[in-house]
Structure 1
Amino acid sequence: MQFKQEQMEFVNQLLYPILMLKKERDEERSSSPLEEQLEVIVEEMRHMSVPLEPYKDNILYFYKDDALRMFFINVKNVLRYHSFDEYAEVLHSMDEGRIKQQLMTNIVKQDEEEASVEDKVAELLENQFAFLDFLKNLPIDDTVRWNYFTIMSGPKKFVEDFISLHQTLKPIFEKVYAEYLPILEKSYQEFETTIHEYPTILAEAFSGTKVIEEIDWASDEISVIPTLLLSDFYFQDSEILILGAKSLEVIQHVIQTRVDKQQERINVFKNLGDKTRYQIFCEIAKGTKSVKGIAEQLGITSATVSYHINELVLSNLVVHGWNKKDCTQAIHTELITEVMNGLMEDSFMTNTVENEE
């Protein structure tokens, strides 16, 4: 397969403003563990977003809300076009009825309790007052609620304003993309080679994907991933927006992290597999504060207790300084919880320790 430069340039032009959305997200929440591990890539993305700053408000208007963003940006659908001008012509040709139908469908899908989306869409399109009542009950921000109402009152303007925004952003995107294109082309080849040699790599790394969730992973469409400027993935139960050219690096990182975590779990079970060490661990967890007390309780020597405690501390199961008066947590309960949850995931059990509690 060849790198479809013209086609992917158009798709990436649509995706580029999402960097502004990521910046907004970062200001509202703390970084995920994975983002902290990939700080170099995350910082590169921040740098790429700087030229978009003057257009922040307009970008967020179209990109922050899922229902509005997905009206324009569904990678699987837009792959059929080869340029933004071609796509813009299609958008221009859409009549109000079609625009409203698609937008209303996206809006109604946000109501998880709605059994029949199609019927509800038809009802709301026919009755503006019913639409207002529906909006009142949606768990969304008032600003978004107002945006929905005004957009449905002037859908053609909504589409024209989106086209106008991208015409304004095009020179900025072209400059950024020209610098990034050689990296994308190289990553594409590396990705293709890796997928061919290691076909299960995606199944091992992905727990899902948002922007490209409808892509058939077994088909040629898999080549889209490394050619995207940005990919919105779900890793380790957290969402992370990442540079497409770095997706292989991220996938390999995720797999290695998973292997390391599994080995950590194995080491914990090995450590507690020794009966004496397990009993000592339990005594510490119960609150026993002295080596002598544990030795007397178990009927073993203090030297034996000290040896096993040292191993437990080195394996991060017991807190260093566990026997001091001011030590409020003698064992690393977070690690134990993480290990048990990891065991349940490894064995495909659905409940976690927190859920059981």
Structure 2
Amino acid sequence: MNLIINKEFNDLYGILSSFMIISNYNYFKNQMEEKWNLTLDDEMERDIRKLLENPIFRKGKYFVDMNMKTKDIFINPTCIFKSKDLDEYFKYLDQQSEDYLRISIFEQLEFEELINYKEESYLNIALEKIEKMYFNGDEKWYLLSLIKDPKYYIKKFSNLIKEYSPLYEGLKKKYWKVYKEFVQWIDEKLSEQGIDFIDEYLSFINLKQNDEVHLNYSIFDLISSYNFGDRSIHIFIGLIFERYVEEEKNKNDIDKHLNIYKVLSDKTRFDIIKILIKNESYGQEIAEQLGITTATVSYHMDFLFGASLVTIQRKSRRLYYSINKEQIRKGISFLEKELML
């Protein structure tokens, strides 16, 4: 496994990811508190809440909403990694044909029968399927409008991000000194421990299944990863990661194992584990077997990742989840030892 460290700050990723994180602030805040037992720095939280008063974030409500599967149409990881700046990124997005964008939307919504559509009746079929999904009236209207005219919405999103850019620059400037200190801290850890340092705290990503691990530094992320099915993975870690490492170091074996049992005490998560024990599965398969939405599957997967109970791998356009049997065996062995069974 080859570790490739990208020390040059990726402004394109920074502006797009920060817009998404701020837009979904309550979602990410809850995820950090429930999944990682972490909270944002008080000053950063105040800054984000102040930014959220800007009407820009109301305008961009549905573009990057975490409950909208279509968010990758606008924040497209593939285009991010092959673009040098914002102008080139939106040039790539704009070059996509309406048919290509529409098929991408159908893939993300998992409308399999519409991917190779041949006639205009696809709108009626799409409407019928959207009506059955767990969206309110405005969200359904937005999805149908997006399917009808995706390039119009790409243009709207482009203008929105350009409007957001000065706000991002101000935020970046404020936290740049702290960011440089964070990078120095990571560099010291890597020089001491090498890739084992990253692997220890990102065991749920299963880094060793990849030939190349591209490590990138960020300001606003905790941990974000992108795998394109080519046996390489791109990871972004941000300022909060340092606090996460310190918290993990202070946990003893009992705390770590109790967290595993806490995660498994939820019936839905336990049912997901039982499905994955039999076979690796993707989100829609799990949702159909349990009679829940794919958004609910993703919500519970975050907890299972945090406890290192599942791993993830991209195959074609789908993300497949697998059980980490070794972590479960450790949990069982721990109980046997502690309770002298």
- Shorter-chain TM range is 0.5 to 0.7
Change (3 A) 1:154 1:22: closer
Equivalences for residues 173-322 of structure 1 within 5 A: 173-198=168-193, 199-206=195-202, 208=204, 219-221=212-214, 223-224=215-216, 226-231=217-222, 244-257=238-251, 259=253, 261=255
Correspondence 1:3 to 2:7: yes
Change (3 A) 1:17 1:40: closer
Greater mean deviation of Cα atoms: 80-89 or 39-48 = 39-48
Q: Is the 8 A contact 1:202 1:251 kept in 2?
A: no
Take 1:191 and 1:165, find their aligned partners in 2: how far apart are those partners?
33
Q: Is the 8 A contact 1:187 1:246 kept in 2?
A: no
Bigger relative CO (Cα 8 Å, ≥ 6 apart): 2
- Partner residue, 1:132: 127
Correspondence 1:143 to 2:138: yes
Gaps of 5+ in 2: 226-235, 260-326, 336-341
Change (3 A) 1:66 1:95: same
- Partner residue, 2:33: 32
Indicate which of 330, 334, 337 corresponds to 1:347. Answer: 330
Q: 1:26 offset after TM fit, Å?
A: 7.2
- Partner residue, 2:263: none
Take 2:157 and 2:208, find their aligned partners in 1: how far apart are those partners?
25
Change (3 A) 1:227 1:217: farther
**TM-score (norm: length of structure 2):** 0.60
Take 2:91 and 2:18, find their aligned partners in 1: how far apart are those partners?
20
Partner of 2:239: helix, strand, or coil? helix
Q: 1:173 offset after TM fit, Å?
A: 0.7
Q: 1:250 offset after TM fit, Å?
A: 1.2
- Partner residue, 2:281: none
Q: Which amino acid aligns with 1:200?
A: D
Take 1:93 and 1:76, find their aligned partners in 2: how far apart are those partners?
14
Greater mean deviation of Cα atoms: 251-260 or 86-95 = 251-260
Gaps of 5+ in 1: 110-116, 235-241, 266-343, 353-357
Take 1:53 and 1:215, find their aligned partners in 2: how far apart are those partners?
43
Partner of 1:60: helix, strand, or coil? coil
- Partner residue, 1:282: none
Q: 1:142 offset after TM fit, Å?
A: 3.7
Q: Which amino acid aligns with 2:244?
A: V
Seq. identity, %: 12
Q: 1:164 offset after TM fit, Å?
A: 0.5
**TM-score (norm: length of structure 1):** 0.58
- Partner residue, 1:60: 61
Q: 1:67 offset after TM fit, Å?
A: 1.8
Q: Which amino acid aligns with 2:21?
A: L
- Give 1 or 2 for the bigger CA radius of gyration: 1
Q: Is the 8 A contact 1:230 1:244 kept in 2?
A: yes
Correspondence 1:165 to 2:148: no
Take 2:71 and 2:207, find their aligned partners in 1: how far apart are those partners?
16
Q: Which amino acid aligns with 1:229?
A: F
Q: Which amino acid aligns with 2:212?
A: S
Q: Is the 8 A contact 1:19 1:49 kept in 2?
A: no
Q: Deviations over 1:225-274 (max 9, x none)?
A: x335324569xxxxxxx981231331332343254615989xxxxxxxxx
Take 2:237 and 2:197, find their aligned partners in 1: how far apart are those partners?
18
Structure number with the higher helix fraction is 1
Change (3 A) 1:165 1:40: closer
- Partner residue, 2:48: 48
Q: 1:218 offset after TM fit, Å?
A: 5.9
Take 2:329 and 2:47, find their aligned partners in 1: how far apart are those partners?
38
What is the Cα-based RMSD across aligned positions, in Å?
A: 3.8
